[in-house]
Amino acid sequence: MGASPASWKEAVVIQQIVNALMLGSVYALIALGYTIVYGIIRFINFAHGDIFMVSAYIVFAAVSYWKLGFFGALVAAVVGAVILGVTIEKVAYRPLRKAPKISLLITAIGVSLFLENFVALPLVMGSMPKVVPSFIPIISYTVGGVRFTSAQVIIFGLAVVLMALLGWFIRNTKLGRAMRAVSTDYMAVPLMGLSVDSIISSAFAIGSGLAAVGGLLYVIVYPMVDPFMGIMIGTKAFISAVVGGIGNIYGAVAGAYLIALLEVLVVAAGYSTWRDAVAFGLLIVVLLLKPSGLFGKFQKEKV
Amino acid sequence: MKPVLEFANVTVSFGGLKAVNDVSFTVYEGQIFGLIGPNGAGKTTAFNAITGFYKPDKGDILFYGESIVGKPTWWISRKGISRTFQNIRLFKNLTVLDNVRIALHQTARYGLFDAAARLTPRFATREEEVLSVSAELLQSVGLYDEKDKIASQLPYGKQRELEIARALALKPKLLLLDEPAAGMNPTETRELAKYIKEIRDRLGITVFVIEHHMDLVMTICEEIAVMDFGVKIAQGKPEDIKNDPRVIAAYLGQEVEESA
Amino acid sequence: MRKRTLQMLLILLILFLVPQLLYNLGFISPYILSVLMELCFFAVSAVSLNLVFGIAGQFSLGQAAFMGTGAYVFGYIINRSPNWVVFVPALLAGGLAAASLGYLVGLPTLRLKGDYLGIATLALNQIFVVVIQNLNAVGGARGYILNLGQTFRQWWLFFGLAVISIFLMRNVVYSSWGRLMVAVREDEIAAESVGIDTTKAKIWAFVIGAFFAGIAGAMSAVYSSFLHPSSFNFIQSFNYMVMVILGGLGSLSGSLLGAGIYVALLEGFRIAKDYASYIPILGAITQNEYRIVFFALALILIMLYAPKGLMGGREFSFFKGKELERK
């Protein structure tokens, strides 16, 4: 093979960056759920990846059974995920709030196993992967040799808008400020006229809603669902949150895009079998050098 | 007299605040040495520097002539400096006996194979010795009958005594007591004073006490240093300290603050 | 003391003989015997994890990687010549390899505390899986077949290894070594101040725990004769954590119970479904697919009603360190 023109090489690099932005957006939306919940009750909700999975299945059902379009699927997934997330917190986690933290973690593992294997039941969805039919018109644009699709624009745009909204919400609403307060001082909340229960419920609701959007965006790019899809994606999202500094929403987003970029680069370099090691390796390095995460400093400024 | 502990021009700072500022004093063998001062004077910080929890920014700390700056806490402890804590740090959920037994790890020295396989009598004999030494220590503080109680269930005064017994289990040459009379009533305080003197007289251990209130220190110490706002403001015999105008001013200043 | 030892030996003899005789007389199927073998290495692994987390207080989610190291090293050696002469060295090599990994992992990560240590060990677990997937000498992602036949798949071997391993770990816990680990778990600052090198104590706990996890891994290799990277991923580490928590943190006999309940919930279901299949609705919902759904529900319920595990940190009296008391 002869030397390729420089513009072609550039196009490949940009194409990889576009891919990383897609994957990163999904990781970021899920990572936010981990980080918001951890910030408030210091609990790693291991079932969060499965909420993403259930949302993806709701999208699948909305599109193939109920013949809904993009907005219908979006609303169905978000509503379903929020109800699921809030119910799980109420039924399985809330009674254990004063129990040892490890019992809560084991319960979360139980919830996660339950969701995965319940969805996999033959009477529910079955354990085989299902293909999600295309539900948004795909229009391609080519700018400077790089191909964009309308789907990619929607994914990135929606993710950015939601993250900006979340940032605004946390800073400017009463509930958002209460959430920040509870993460620094549990006792401060009753002073703000809100109950701890309602704040924790809201955290689970917001986290689940964002994961649902993550599920929708994911099936647009990778139109397949399976009952165990939440494990690895959820874990990567969780790592993003830790790498960025768990409890810090900006850190979670930055961590998500960083991990997505590294993964895409490793695959592009021909080491796809090492792909999963990248996120975990980065996690170890960050934990050892700066256990509070790359943006852990922001946590202190929360006060 | 042989110097046991030399605290030489030590400065410890947190951010901009100098919690201990260029402080020097020497504790001699066989002494009961007192360090007093109002709240926040830097007394506990000095203890934490001696025991390796904090590293001084400047100055040196010598134990029998050897610098112990930068050494890990466990190393300093094994070298012969034991301590108690201002807010009592027992192993709260463990039994009274286990609290002492844990500290007897040098008596209970045997290899992993002795512990796991127990093919030689070494495990049994060492553990037997641990039991008899713990029994002695617990009897000396009158806690032997309560050896199977959980430490946190003991009354406050007893917990302090258990902490001292645990510190003594390490066979220290120097014993650091951080506000040992805190929370004790006058009777208990008198008992404690007697006990501290016994430790020195019978076991020959040099004792270094921090106190916020002066009464205990005045009765047992031969030499007293006074700190205020991180600086040493006076040192001398109890009667000199009692009448030192700088000391009176420091304490008076605090009483004014406290009553405000 | 003497009497107690004899009693214990008698109980162990009965525990060994009953399944063996029932099997030889045809009362229990090879399947049930094989479930009991599985229980043996689950128990060893659960107790070793309890030593690290319950006794020394170090939250590890990397148990499966230590088991995997033991399994693969043992498997690689025994596959050269599967005979009894090689068996013991191969087993010890598996344990020692896992212990070395425990040391290497522990050295940098044990500075971390609580959740962070858990996350770091989980990550190392997953890196281990990716490394194995890329190691062609042991089959990579396809898995690794061991040509062992039924030579080593004996009840006495599983039972014996479990008894010896658990006995050794129990002795370590009820010794000065164990006391130092408990001290580190309870209060690191107090531990340091009574002259305990807490870093060293934590690393020892990790190394000892990893050694026996490696032995359990080697046992699992004998059990299944086939090793696959996914059998040692962090989800498997969760399973051992589940056993430990079900039984109760810090209770070694609880971990035996936890492993027992774990196996009973998963395998008991298979047995129960044979009987349930005659009853209309029960028959329909007891197909294999429902197994883990019910397991998950049981797990959640146990945690809700016994958050400290079934033993709640207590110990069955036959496990207690009576030798450390005055006679």
C215-230 confidence digits (pLDDT tens): 999 999 999 999 999 9
Q: B74 and B179 share a domain?
A: yes
CB contact under 8 A, B109 and C176: yes
Between residues C143 and B243, the one the model is more confident about: C143
Distance from CA of C264 to the nearest CA of B (A): 30
DSSP summary character for residue A90: I
Nearest to A232 by CA among A269, A280, A265: A280
Residue A50 sits in which domain range?
26-228
Q: DSSP 3-state assignment of B141?
A: coil
pLDDT at A2: 43
Q: Which subunits count as partners of chain B given 3+ CB pairs below 8 Å?
A: C
| Averaged pLDDT, C239-266 | 92
pLDDT at A6: 54
CB contact under 8 A, A113 and C299: yes
In the structure encoding, which two tokens stand for residue C59, read together?
């939250």
* Residues of C whose CB is below 8 A from B90: 187, 190
Nearest to B219 by CA among B240, B188, B241, B190: B190
Alpha-carbon distance of C69 to C64, in angstroms, equals 8
A173-201 residue pLDDT tens: 988 888 887 777 666 666 677 788 889 99
Q: What percent of chain A has pLDDT over 90?
A: 60
Q: Using an 8 Å Cβ cutoff, are B44 and B84 in contact?
A: no
What phi and psi, each to the nearest 5 degrees, are found at residue A123? -75, -15
CB contact under 8 A, C300 and A122: no
CB contact under 8 A, B110 and C176: yes
pLDDT at B168: 96
CB contact under 8 A, A120 and C123: no
Q: What domains can you pick out in chain C, each with its CATH number?
A: 2-324 (1.10.3470)
Q: B73 and B128 share a domain?
A: no
Q: B228 and B205 share a domain?
A: yes
CB contact under 8 A, A111 and C59: no
| Averaged pLDDT, C20-36 | 92
Q: DSSP 3-state assignment of B36?
A: strand
Answer yes or no: is pLDDT of C327 > 70.
no
- Contact exists between C and A (3 or more beta carbon pairs < 8 Å): yes
pLDDT at A303: 20
Does any domain span residue B166? no
Answer yes or no: is pLDDT of C103 > 80.
yes
Distance from CA of B135 to the nearest CA of C (A): 10
pLDDT at B156: 87
Query: Considering its fold, how many domains does chain A have in total?
Result: 1
* Residues of A whose CB is below 8 A from C292: 113, 117
Q: pLDDT band at residue C151, thresholds of 50, 70 and 90? A: confident
pLDDT at C221: 97
| Averaged pLDDT, B190-195 | 90
Answer yes or no: is pLDDT of A147 > 90.
no
Does any domain span residue B163? no
Alpha-carbon distance of A140 to A150, in angstroms, equals 6
Answer yes or no: is pLDDT of C289 > 90.
no
Does any domain span residue B254? yes
Best probe of the C interface among A46, A112, A114, by most C CBs < 10 A, is: A114
Q: What is the helix (H) or strand (E) element at residue B21, kind and residue range?
A: strand B17-28
Q: B253 and B126 share a domain?
A: no
* Residues of C whose CB is below 8 A from A283: 119-120, 123
Q: Select, from the ranges B106-115, B185-194, C304-313, the one with the highest average predicted confidence (pLDDT).
A: B106-115
Q: Which residue has the tokens 């590294």?
A: A262
| Averaged pLDDT, C197-225 | 97
Q: B72 and B133 share a domain?
A: no
Does any domain span residue A18? no
When the pLDDT of each residue in chain C is averaged and rounded to a whole number, the result is 91
pLDDT at A294: 86
Q: How many helices (H) and strands (E) does chain A have?
A: 11, 4
Q: DSSP 3-state assignment of B203?
A: helix
Q: Using an 8 Å Cβ cutoff, are B218 and B244 in contact?
A: no
| Averaged pLDDT, A223-229 | 95
Alpha-carbon distance of A187 to A173, in angstroms, equals 19
Q: B73 and B100 share a domain?
A: no
Q: B75 and B186 share a domain?
A: yes
| Averaged pLDDT, C2-22 | 90
* Residues of C whose CB is below 8 A from A288: 108-109, 111-112, 120
* Residues of C whose CB is below 8 A from A45: none
| Chain B residue at shortest CA distance from C192 | B74
Output the CA torsion sign for C73, C77, C82, C88.
negative
When the pLDDT of each residue in chain A is averaged and rounded to a whole number, the result is 88
CB contact under 8 A, B102 and C196: yes
Residue B116 sits in which domain range?
91-154
In the structure encoding, which two tokens stand for residue C184, read together?
């580190």
| Averaged pLDDT, A4-11 | 63
Q: pLDDT band at residue B215, thresholds of 50, 70 and 90? A: confident
| Averaged pLDDT, C83-90 | 95
Nearest to C71 by CA among C46, C90, C56, C84: C90
Q: Do β-strands B3-14 and B58-63 pair in parallel, antiparallel, or remain unpaired? A: antiparallel
pLDDT at C270: 76
Least reliable range by pLDDT among B94-108, C70-84, C310-324: C310-324
What count of Cα atoms within 13 Å lies in the side-chain half-sphere of residue C167?
13
B79-116 residue pLDDT tens: 999 999 999 999 999 999 999 999 999 999 999 999 99
CB contact under 8 A, C112 and A291: yes
Q: B149 and B177 share a domain?
A: no
pLDDT at C65: 98
Residue where one domain finishes, among candidates B154, B180, B206: B154
| Chain C residue at shortest CA distance from B110 | C176
Residue C198 contacts B, CB cutoff 8 Å: yes
pLDDT at A1: 42
Under an 8 Å CB criterion, which residues of B touch C? 51, 53, 72-75, 77-78, 82-83, 85, 89-94, 98, 101-103, 105-106, 108-110, 112, 115-118, 123-124, 126-127, 130-131, 166-167, 169-170
| Chain C residue at shortest CA distance from A292 | C116
Answer yes or no: is pLDDT of B206 > 80.
yes
| Chain B residue at shortest CA distance from C170 | B116
pLDDT at A298: 38
Q: Do β-strands B17-28 and C144-145 pair in parallel, antiparallel, or remain unpaired? A: unpaired
DSSP summary character for residue B224: E
Answer yes or no: is pLDDT of B172 > 90.
yes
CB pairs under 8 A between A and C: 112
Does any domain span residue A236? no
ipTM for this model: 0.92
Answer yes or no: is pLDDT of B127 > 90.
yes
pLDDT at C195: 96
In the structure encoding, which two tokens stand for residue C152, read together?
């080593």
Least reliable range by pLDDT among A199-208, A216-225, A292-301, C2-11: A292-301
pLDDT at A240: 95
pLDDT at A186: 65
Does any domain span residue A278? no
Does any domain span residue A16? no
Q: What is the helix (H) or strand (E) element at residue C187, kind and residue range?
A: none
When the pLDDT of each residue in chain B is averaged and rounded to a whole number, the result is 92
Rg, Å, chain B Cα set = 19
Q: pLDDT band at residue B259, thresholds of 50, 70 and 90? A: very low
C14: Cβ contacts below 8 Å, ≥ 6 apart = none
| Averaged pLDDT, A122-130 | 91
CB contact under 8 A, C120 and A283: yes
* Residues of B whose CB is below 8 A from C206: none
Q: pLDDT band at residue B254, thresholds of 50, 70 and 90? A: low
Instruction: Report which residue type is found at C28.
Output: I
Answer yes or no: is pLDDT of A11 > 80.
no
List, as own/partner pairs, every contact residues A167-176 make where C-beta atoms lie below 8 angstroms and the sequence separation is at least 24, other chains included. Answer: A167/A249, A167/A250, A169/A206, A170/A249, A175/A199, A175/A202
- Contact exists between C and B (3 or more beta carbon pairs < 8 Å): yes
CB contact under 8 A, C189 and B106: no
Alpha-carbon distance of C20 to B245, in angstroms, equals 88
Query: Considering its fold, how many domains does chain B have in total?
Result: 2
What phi and psi, each to the nearest 5 degrees, are found at residue A27? -55, -45
pLDDT at A299: 38
Residue C277 contacts B, CB cutoff 8 Å: no
Q: B13 and B121 share a domain?
A: no
Q: What is the helix (H) or strand (E) element at residue A183, kind and residue range?
A: helix A174-184
CB pairs under 8 A between B and C: 99
Does any domain span residue A17? no
Distance from CA of A100 to the nearest CA of C (A): 7
Does any domain span residue B162? no
Best probe of the B interface among C51, C176, C203, C308, by most B CBs < 10 A, is: C176
Best probe of the C interface among A44, A105, A272, by most C CBs < 10 A, is: A105
Q: What is the helix (H) or strand (E) element at residue B60, kind and residue range?
A: strand B58-63
CB contact under 8 A, C189 and B123: no
What phi and psi, each to the nearest 5 degrees, are found at residue A135? -130, 5
Q: 10 Å Cβ neighbour count for A303? A: 8
Q: pLDDT band at residue B78, thresholds of 50, 70 and 90? A: very high
Does any domain span residue B18? yes
Does any domain span residue A190? yes
Alpha-carbon distance of A29 to A210, in angstroms, equals 5
CB contact under 8 A, B112 and C195: no
Domain with B61 in it: what CATH number? 3.40.50.300
pLDDT at A3: 46
Does any domain span residue A235? no
C38: Cβ contacts below 8 Å, ≥ 6 apart = C223, C263, C267
What phi and psi, each to the nearest 5 degrees, are found at residue C217? -60, -45
CB contact under 8 A, C296 and A239: no
Instruction: Report which residue type is found at C322.
Output: K
CB contact under 8 A, C176 and B127: yes
pLDDT at C295: 85
Distance from CA of C23 to the nearest CA of B (A): 32
pLDDT at C277: 67
What count of Cα atoms within 13 Å lies in the side-chain half-sphere of residue A242?
30
In the structure encoding, which two tokens stand for residue B258, read together?
């406290």
* Residues of C whose CB is below 8 A from B92: 186-187
Q: Using an 8 Å Cβ cutoff, are A201 and A182 in contact?
A: no
CB contact under 8 A, A121 and C238: no
Between residues C285 and C261, the one the model is more confident about: C261
Q: 10 Å Cβ neighbour count for A5? A: 10
